[in-house]
Amino acid sequence: MSKTPAQRARKHGTSAAVAPSGRSAPPEQPRKAQPGEGNPKLIVIAALGATLFMFWYFHLLTLTQMTQLSNGLAMPDSLVGGFSADYLERLRGVMDADALGQLSYVHKTAGTIFAIVFALTFAVVFAAWARPRAARWAGVGLAAAFAVVRIAGFVAIDGALGSRPFDSAQATLASVLVILGWVLFAVVVLGGAAVLFLNWRRRPGSPSAGS
């Protein structure tokens, strides 16, 4: 026969007066988040690091070294303001078949990787932190357009340099694509920086969050 609460209290103290089934369970401790768990910032930081590395490797290292095969003439990809058809024809005249093949290989490897990594990185930035939906889709679209235009510019440059006879129309198209690629590059970088800055200002701990 079970004991009454008063009997249990006399024998075991007041803590035993309540039946085991009536005791409240201890409050559940909140689960501590693991470092970096669910934090997209770490992914973006890593992607930005990879983008900076590929920019340095492709533009500042590889294309600069290619000038050793062109009597000091700059590679078309590095000319922000574009180039004339005569410039591209002169470049083809000083670069032999092996040098042209090496430039084409660089375009297909380091150049393409840079364009894709850059586009994916800033697409994540816009998709994760741009608040207005229109700005989010516009940013992602511009990042994707950069990759398409940049890769198309590589194809046009290689096609013009390898054309027999020289195709001035394709050289002009290549110049237009290079200029457009640099414009998109600047727009995407500035837009991504603005999104990150505005997101930082909206953080609870930021100085302007309470203003």
Q: Where are the domains of the chain?
A: 41-201
Question: Looking at residue 200, what is its pLDDT?
Answer: 76
Measured CA to CA, the distance from residue 17 to residue 13 in angstroms comes to: 7
Question: Looking at residue 12, what is its pLDDT?
Answer: 59
pLDDT bucket at 43, cuts 50 / 70 / 90: confident
pLDDT bucket at 119, cuts 50 / 70 / 90: very high
Task: Please say whether the beta carbons of 8 and 20 come within 8 A.
Answer: no
Task: Please say whether the beta carbons of 139 and 81 come within 8 A.
Answer: no
CB atoms within 10 A of CB 24: 6
Residue type, 51: T
Q: Taking residues 44-63, what's their average pLDDT?
A: 94
Span 135-154, pLDDT tens digits: 999 999 999 999 999 999 99
Return the axis-axis angle of helices 133-162 and 97-106, rounded to nearest 10°. Answer: 170
Q: What is the mean pLDDT of the chain?
A: 85
- pTM as predicted: 0.77
- The 3-class SS string of the chain reads CCCCHHHHHHHHCHHHCCCHHHCCCCCCCCCCCCCCCCCHHHHHHHHHHHHHHHHHHHHHHHHHHHHHHCCCCCCHHHCCCCCCHHHHHHHHHHCCHHHHHHHHHHHHHHHHHHHHHHHHHHHHHHHHHCCCHHHHHHHHHHHHHHHHHHHHHHHHHHHHHHCCCCCHHHHHHHHHHHHHHHHHHHHHHHHHHHHHHHHHHCCCCCCCCCC
Q: What does the block give as tokens for 48?
A: 């930005």
Q: Is pLDDT at 16 greater than 60 in this prediction?
A: no
Measured CA to CA, the distance from residue 61 to residue 105 in angstroms comes to: 15
